């Protein structure tokens, strides 16, 4: 059987692996946890970092209770405090009482993730409100060296997380002043990303500008209903975007593959605060539908408390979230059923219901219809549609219909599909389901169609 012709940009091997993670976690933990701040000023005493019961295995267990495939640690936030013993600054965990000055939180989480075969990633803030050299070329060399230590000392990473945090007031070694930099040039990101590629070839690199994964444009837990995984890269650097709409929606005529990550915290803040409460499992499920359900991956922050543990209330919410997803996706009514296609160029439409994300069906024309007879009348709670993105993203409008008592009723309509489009249907019943491809840049190539029972 011939393989389809590629249309537009396509994901790399590392990006394909990233897409399949779908849900993973962020861990914000530093001196802020103990000072009740969101952004540390940089003058926090190292002695203040003193978790009483830190257990990274518990963090991983909490993440897995929420169905997460990995964890990204804030190895350094804007306050400049490093969670690993580094020679680049005196403001690090080795100068704290944690583990009697021999602690390394990065190592402990890397090992805990490896033990449970959970992905491990890192974020190291470019802004450093503690370092006296911030704003000079010397600091950029320090920042690059910090990343070199992280890239080479803790095993394989699935994601390296970057943002454009840049300048403002800080402690800066006692100067206590405001410093400004050019976020487009100061940090030498292109050089830093080349270092990441050299040491961590399999890691996806996230920032506003990619180069592998882009930001969703908000921290509310959603991406646009129209979500192209391809963009025109001109005009985007970490922390500075030419067009927020293009960042959010992508570009239908994009020239590079740069899909969306949705980052959101389970709590109102990114760091633990005693007065705050976590989102409920139901709220996280709604976030999943508006992120993963629109072709993105979801990165949920789960901050440890002052003990160094994920609170029980947060673990309960994560467990409920996983249960909601599992209940929603538990029964695929279409699995193994024959599929009728109005047009086919390659593959067989029956492969859409074989359960494999690696098989495909290619339409013969840009407009096409797929019908799945379900037999007896079924209660349908949702639909998942996937494009075979290894051949590009093509669909720009589609509709879902259900046949009931001999008539077809449209129950959903959307624009892009991409890696996955998950639709929740309210009180839908019928004997057959139909997907209509209404507009596409090239004949659609789909990988799977799943029809979830309600």
| 295, 328, 361 - which closes a domain | 328
User: What's the mean pLDDT in 9-33?
Assistant: 98
Residues 35 and 109 in one domain: yes
* 362 assigned to some structural domain: yes
pLDDT at 1: 60
Say if residue 408 is in the same domain as residue 265: no
CA-to-CA distance for 408 and 426, rounded, in angstroms?
Answer: 16
Which band of pLDDT confidence, cut at 50, 70 and 90, is reported for residue 124? very high
Q: Are residues 299 and 384 in the same domain?
A: no
Asked if residue 210 and residue 83 are part of one domain, the reply reads: yes
381 with 252, same domain? no
Q: Which structural domain range is residue 281 located in?
A: 13-328
Q: Of 69-73, 248-252, 285-289, 427-431, which gets the smallest average pLDDT?
A: 427-431
Task: Note whether 134 and 231 are same-domain residues.
Answer: yes
What is d(CA 173, CA 178) in angstroms, rounded to the nearest whole number? Answer: 12
The reported pTM is 0.97
Give per-residue pLDDT as tens, 295-333: 999 999 999 999 999 999 999 999 999 999 999 999 999
What CATH number is associated with residue 21?
3.20.20.80
Domain boundary pick from 306, 328, 350: 328
Q: In sequence order, what are the beta bridge partners of 70?
A: 119
Q: Same domain for 214 and 363? A: no
Judge if 70 and 217 occupy the same domain.
Answer: yes
Between CA 447 and CA 317 the distance in angstroms is 32
For residue 183, being part of any structural domain is answered with yes
Q: Is 25 within the bounds of a domain?
A: yes
Across the chain, what does the average pLDDT equal? 97
Q: Is the dihedral of CA 151, 22, 252, 442 positive or negative?
A: positive
Instruction: Note whether 229 and 345 are same-domain residues.
Output: no
- Would you list the DSSP string of 255-270? SEE--EEEEEESSSSS
pLDDT, residue 381, reads: 97
Share of the chain above pLDDT 90, in %: 95
Q: Is residue 170 part of a domain?
A: yes
Whole-number Å distance between alpha carbons of 58 and 2: 48
**Domain annotation covers residue 179:** yes
The predicted structure's pLDDT at residue 148: 98
**Final residue of a domain: which of 328, 348, 369?**
328
Q: What is the mean pLDDT of residues 29-40?
A: 98
pLDDT over 90 at 183, yes or no? no
- Is 5 part of any domain? no
Tallying the residues shown for the chain, one arrives at 454
In a domain, 428, yes or no: yes
- Summarised one tens digit per residue, pLDDT across range 262-289 is 999 999 999 999 999 999 999 999 999 9
Cβ partners under 8 Å of residue 122, min gap 6 = 72, 73, 75, 106, 150, 154, 157, 159, 160, 161
Residues 297 and 323 in one domain: yes
Q: Is residue 92 part of a domain?
A: yes
Arithmetic mean of pLDDT, 416-422 = 98
- Those residues with Cβ within 8 angstroms of residue 93's Cβ, 6 or more apart along the chain or in another chain: 46, 49, 81, 82, 83, 84, 85, 103, 104, 105
Q: Do both 151 and 208 map to the same domain? A: yes
The domain tally of the chain equals 2
pLDDT in tens, 214-249: 999 999 999 999 999 999 998 888 888 888 899 999
Burial of 428 (0-12, 13-18, 19+ CB in 10 A): buried
Q: Quick one: 366 and 219 in the same domain?
A: no
**Domain of 395: which CATH number?**
2.60.120.260
């Amino acid at each position: 059987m011939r393989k389809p012709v590629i249309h537009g940009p396509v994901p790399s091997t590392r990006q394909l692996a990233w897409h399949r993670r779908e849900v993973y976690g962020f861990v914000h933990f530093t001196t802020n946890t103990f000072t009740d701040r969101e952004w540390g000023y940089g003058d926090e005493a190292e002695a203040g970092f003193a978790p009483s019961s830190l257990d990274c295995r518990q963090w991983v267990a909490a993440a897995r209770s929420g169905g997460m495939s990995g964890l990204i640690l804030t190895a350094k936030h804007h306050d400049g405090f490093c969670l690993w013993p580094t020679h680049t600054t005196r403001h690090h965990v080795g100068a704290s009482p944690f583990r009697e000055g021999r602690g390394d939180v990065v190592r402990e989480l890397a090992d805990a993730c490896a033990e449970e075969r959970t992905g491990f990633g890192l974020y190291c803030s470019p802004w450093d409100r503690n370092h006296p050299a911030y704003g000079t070329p010397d600091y950029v060399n320090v920042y690059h060296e910090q990343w070199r230590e992280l890239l080479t000392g803790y095993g394989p990473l699935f994601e390296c997380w970057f943002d454009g945090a840049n300048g403002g007031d800080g402690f800066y070694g006692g100067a206590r002043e405001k410093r400004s930099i050019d976020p487009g040039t100061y940090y030498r990101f292109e050089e830093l990303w080349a270092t990441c590629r050299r040491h961590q070839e399999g890691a996806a690199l996230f920032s506003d500008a990619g180069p592998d994964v882009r930001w969703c444009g908000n921290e509310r837990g959603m991406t646009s209903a129209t979500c192209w995984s391809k963009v025109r890269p001109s005009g985007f650097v970490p922390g500075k975007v030419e067009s927020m709409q293009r960042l959010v929606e992508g570009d239908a005529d994009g020239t590079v593959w740069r899909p969306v990550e949705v980052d959101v915290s389970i709590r109102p803040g990114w760091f633990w605060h005693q007065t705050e409460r976590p989102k409920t499992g139901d709220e996280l499920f709604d976030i999943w539908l508006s992120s993963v359900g629109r072709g993105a991956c979801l990165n949920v922050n789960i901050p440890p408390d002052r003990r160094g543990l994920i609170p029980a209330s947060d673990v309960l919410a994560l467990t409920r979230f996983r249960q909601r997803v599992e209940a929603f996706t538990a029964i695929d009514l279409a699995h193994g059923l024959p599929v009728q296609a109005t047009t086919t160029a390659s593959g067989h439409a029956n492969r859409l219901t074989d359960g494999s994300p690696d098989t495909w069906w290619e339409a013969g024309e840009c407009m096409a219809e797929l019908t799945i007879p379900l037999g007896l009348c079924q209660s349908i709670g949702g639909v998942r549609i996937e494009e075979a993105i290894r051949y590009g993203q093509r669909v720009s409008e589609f509709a879902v219909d259900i046949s009931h008592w001999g008539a077809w009723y449209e129950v959903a309509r959307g624009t892009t599909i991409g890696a996955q489009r998950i639709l929740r249907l309210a009180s839908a019943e019928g004997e057959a389901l139909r997907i209509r491809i209404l507009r596409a840049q090239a004949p659609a190539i789909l990988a799977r169609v799943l029809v979830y029972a309600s």
